[in-house]
């Protein structure tokens, strides 16, 4: 079996989709001969997409045994809908969430239904699969393969390391540490949690936020502010723009919240392990945002693998990652009282045992190896099906 992988989300860029793409491509080498065309940042995205059809044709002519081509998200698959010259290959697309619900009328009405021309659609969660089917994708062509997790995420319970970490980042080590992680986008619900939930918690709780954050407006911010509201929204969604950043910065400077929050910025993996391992709870307080969705919830699993107690909104693809009372607790989204109860409703005598139980479940259910095995089975099945003539 020889497979061509095509992706514009790939290292050295970092992020969940880049990680998934890398692990899929590299892991598949144990099952098949792998060819790849990936974006590495050496040229503009415009040049990459403009030259893509020619590069695919060059690759399949050089390696005529290629029988399956995989596009790693809906954007690159959209660009490839108008390609010519390789319709004889079996074709697979992975949907991650936003690439299904993106709220552009022309995309929803005219482009998304054309994805039925591909032989198979992989959704990273049941919520993503449902969203695709509701928008006209043939249910018989859709299967769910959840993302994996790196099992090198482990608890770091060194008390000295924790004290040193708190000193470095000026954290109150004596308080119960609540942790969030991720880009400051609205669907993550960070500013909502700070405004609605944090004031209701006792003074012995402190929120530590990790992830990228720019505290000064950039030129791009000023440019986006001049766009019409509709185009602002589309640009923000399409580019993964930090749509919650301004609100978070304002709250960090607000005296009502300032003493309850510390934003740590982007942390190296080793320090992140220390923070997650010593947290009272890891929070993913996502909220519904029109035209956007959380396709999976990889950071929840990474937190669980570090032994953190995970509380996550029962919304969209997160419910595939965090399964209630199996590897975390699902909480009703945008219900501040429910979040307060979930954070405080803990039995200290059972805490460590439950953390260990939940971590073990996460590691049993999710791994990059399992994800790759499922893709390999799909590719083998497709390869054995005779290709129908393209209409």
Specify whether 342 is located in the same domain as 375. Answer: no
Specify whether 341 is located in the same domain as 312. Answer: yes
Whole-angstrom Cα distance, residue 55 to residue 378?
25
Positive or negative, the CA dihedral 176, 265, 362, 127 is: positive
Q: Which of 110, 113, 76 is nearest to 92 (CA)?
A: 76
Specify whether 230 is located in the same domain as 351. Answer: yes
Specify whether 114 is located in the same domain as 176. Answer: no
Domain that holds residue 277: 159-365
Q: What are phi and psi of 331, to 5 degrees?
A: -125, 140
Tell me the two tokens of residue 148: 């994996």
Q: Which of 72, 75, 109, 108 is nearest to 91 (CA)?
A: 72
What is the pLDDT tens value at each position of the chain, 391 positions in all?
999 999 998 998 777 889 999 999 999 999 999 999 999 989 988 899 999 999 999 999 999 999 999 999 998 999 999 999 999 999 999 999 989 998 888 889 999 999 999 999 999 999 999 999 999 999 999 999 999 999 988 999 899 999 999 999 999 999 999 999 998 999 999 999 999 999 999 999 999 999 988 877 666 666 566 666 665 655 555 555 567 888 999 999 999 998 999 999 999 999 999 999 999 999 999 999 988 899 999 999 999 999 999 999 999 999 999 999 999 999 999 999 999 999 998 766 578 889 999 999 999 999 999 999 999 999 999 987 655 544 3
Specify whether 209 is located in the same domain as 333. Answer: yes
Q: Which residues of 292-330 are buried (b: 16+ CB within 10 A; e: fewer)?
A: bbbbbbbbbbbbbbbbbbbbbbbbbbbbbbbeeeebbbb
Positive or negative, the CA dihedral 38, 44, 46, 52 is: negative
Specify whether 94 is located in the same domain as 23. Answer: yes
Specify whether 41 is located in the same domain as 185. Answer: no
Cβ atoms of residues 173 and 162 within 8 Å: yes
Specify whether 209 is located in the same domain as 114. Answer: no
Q: How many domains does the chain fold into?
A: 2
108 burial class (0-12, 13-18, 19+ CB within 10 angstroms)?
middle
CATH of the domain at 171: 3.40.50.2000
CB-CB neighbours of 136 under 10 Å: 13
How distant, in Å, are the alpha carbons of 66, 67, 83, 166, 381 from that of 386?
15, 11, 21, 60, 10
3-state secondary structure of 44: coil
């Amino acid at each position: 079996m020889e497979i061509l992988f095509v992706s514009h989300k790939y290292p050295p860029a970092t992020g969940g989709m880049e990680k998934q793409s890398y692990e899929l491509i590299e892991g598949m080498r144990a099952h098949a001969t792998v060819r790849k065309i990936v974006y590495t940042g050496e040229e503009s995205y415009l040049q990459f997409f403009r030259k893509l059809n020619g590069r695919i044709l060059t690759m399949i002519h050089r390696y005529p045994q290629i029988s399956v081509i995989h596009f790693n998200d809906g954007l690159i698959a959209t660009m490839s809908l108008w390609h010519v010259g390789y319709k004889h290959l079996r074709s697979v697309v992975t949907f991650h969430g936003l690439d299904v619900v993106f709220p552009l009328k022309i995309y929803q009405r005219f482009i998304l239904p054309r994805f039925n021309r591909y032989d198979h659609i992989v959704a990273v969660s049941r919520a993503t699969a449902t969203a695709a089917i509701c928008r006209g994708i043939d249910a018989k062509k859709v299967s769910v393969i959840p993302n994996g997790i790196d099992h090198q995420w482990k608890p770091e319970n060194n008390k000295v390391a924790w004290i040193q970490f708190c000193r470095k980042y000026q954290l109150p080590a004596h308080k119960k540490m609540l942790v969030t992680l991720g880009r400051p986008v609205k669907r993550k619900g960070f500013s909502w949690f700070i405004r609605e939930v944090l004031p209701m918690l006792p003074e012995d709780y402190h929120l530590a936020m990790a992830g990228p954050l720019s505290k000064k407006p950039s030129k791009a911010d000023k440019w986006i502010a001049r766009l019409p509201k509709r185009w602002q929204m589309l640009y923000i969604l399409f580019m993964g723009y930090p749509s919650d950043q301004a609100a978070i910065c304002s709250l960090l400077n607000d005296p009502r919240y300032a003493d309850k929050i510390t934003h740590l910025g982007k942390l190296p993996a080793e320090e992140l392990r220390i923070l997650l391992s010593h947290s009272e709870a890891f929070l993913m307080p996502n909220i519904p945002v029109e035209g956007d969705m959380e396709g999976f919830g990889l950071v929840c699993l990474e937190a669980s693998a570090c032994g953190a107690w995970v509380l996550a909104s029962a919304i969209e693809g997160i419910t595939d990652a965090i399964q209630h009372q199996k590897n975390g607790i699902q909480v009703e989204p945008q219900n501040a009282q429910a979040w307060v109860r979930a954070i405080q409703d803990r039995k200290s005598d059972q805490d460590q045992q439950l953390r260990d139980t939940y971590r073990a479940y996460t590691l049993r259910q999710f791994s990059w190896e399992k994800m790759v095995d499922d893709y390999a089975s799909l590719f083998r099945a497709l390869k054995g099906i005779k290709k129908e003539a393209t209409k």
